[in-house]
Structure 1
Amino acid sequence: MMTNLFSVFDPSSNMMNLSMNWMSIFIGLILIPMSLWFIPSRSIFMWNFILNKLHQEFKLLIGTLMINKGSTLIFISIFSIILYNNFMGLFPYVFTNTSHLVMTLTLALPLWLSCMLFGWINNTKHMFMHLVPQGTPNLLMPFMVCIETISNLIRPSTLAIRLTANMIAGHLLMTLLGNTGNNMMFSLLPVLLLIQILLITLEFAVAIIQSYVFSVLSTLYSSEVN
């Protein structure tokens, strides 16, 4: 019996005191046919097309300082990892990794911290300039420094919480509707199935959008250290 509404997101399955829910990350590697790894197919060409488009967009956002160092590959990899885990969470009985702050903070915090260390060590004056927007009156400068500092410090948490909250919200709504199916009239079940299909379609879109938003915001945050 479900004692807590959010207990469906708890990583409770274990074997010999080892959590097995996080092993769902490797399920996709088993499901992908080996032919996709060796023989180029239409799906591979489509995926390469998407990655090239992302590379062109991230290259414009990052700036000129870090392009030659292959930094766009970092954000493309983050996009691929989040997209993969979001899609795997849509399958029944598969643990959604991106619905936990353990996963999302692991992606957001090291990336933000490395960008901050790089910026304050190599471009200290430039980082101080970001604390005071151009055209700020002298009277408001101390307040703007405090506001910009706080907004800069909460960036990794906002990245992580945004992704976690969006992934939990859709799954939680589908769980609530699914639990009401046992108490509904038989004539209303087709309506419930139609709503569930629409929600799954929406979750597919959310999985793509959230992975894109996470990677784009990470790119914009890293561009400020140039």
Structure 2
Amino acid sequence: MEWFYDFDWKVAFPEKRIYLMRQHNWAFAAWEIERLKGNLQPKSLLVHVDAHLDDTPDGVFVPGLHEAQSVEQLIAVAQGHDYASGRVCPPDCMQIDNFIWAAVARDTIGETIFVSHQDDEVLSLDMLRHDAVHKRNENCQNIIAKLPDGCTYKHQRYMDVPSFLSSCDDQRWSTEQTKILDLDLDYFNVSEEIAPKLMPEAQIRDELQVLRNLYQWDAVTIALSPEYCGGKEEAAYLLTLFLETFELELPAGQRW
């Protein structure tokens, strides 16, 4: 379980455009690399399935965010913080909850469908604009200033995969907008306590299968987030179910 001890662990299956990572901040780099290759277009649709919303907007302030043009530069921008090191997190760091707004700032993500049982309201562009104008909130003003001119970022919100699936229609998936599946395996831990409570295995397999088959995704990013899955064993178990469902063998992946 090398991935448990290495915060920078990440493996890709380039021919399938599937990226695995221990820490979710690396999803930003994966999306930007696929855009660099021409596989993702600006204003892509992101389907974010996660125990957490990960909608913290300070990702727009990460140094080098707008200037990065190469794979090496994108990797440097996405570099996160090793929380186990005991070192203080540097300012303006890419983190496991602010990478979506970082991609919005680069116009890579134009819409997000949040599928999360976190009981909070999603931060919207309208909320930021309202506080920037009517409350003269300087932080919101600075965030808006980092977004693309005429930004139209929007979102939808669902509490779980079944409610999301019940809303899907053919028209949504027939658009030319490129589409990303972003899954954090901690979604399958429904406990709000320290002790984990994973969904039944049959349900996990069913939901993984449905997500895989919903669309021929232009990119897929998978975060292990072992601490939020409940621990090393829980994360390993969920990773095994994912690999089996998506018909992948971890040794065949490439470090990136």
The structure in which a higher percent of residues are helix is 1
How does the TM-score come out when normalised to structure 2?
Answer: 0.22
How does the TM-score come out when normalised to structure 1?
Answer: 0.24
The structure in which a higher percent of residues are strand is 2
